[in-house]
Amino acid sequence: MRIEVLGSGCAKCQRLYAEAERAVAEAGVAADLVKVEDVPSIVARGVMLTPALAVDGRIVSSGRVPSASEIAGWLREAAA
């Protein structure tokens, strides 16, 4: 599973990355967690508000920092 945190590296982006790390541990899934900070590639994916989170290429959140529990639910859903 590939999890991407899309954003410029701002404080909210860093919080989202930390929440995603906790979610991976909580969900117990194997995942590659990466940061995407290249603005043109973020915009090309249709993201207009950051931070954003993508799971296996699908944007699941944009413009907010979801909780680790919420992210873990998306991870379990994607793994099923």
Out of 2, 8, 9, 10, the active site residue is 10
For 46-77, the three-class secondary structure string (H helix, E strand, C coil) is CCCCCCEEEECCEEEEECCCCCHHHHHHHHHH
Active-site pick, 13, 20, 27, 53: 13
Q: Is 60 a catalytic residue?
A: no
**Known catalytic membership, residue 27:** no
Measured CA to CA, the distance from residue 58 to residue 72 in angstroms comes to 15
Catalytic residues: 10, 13
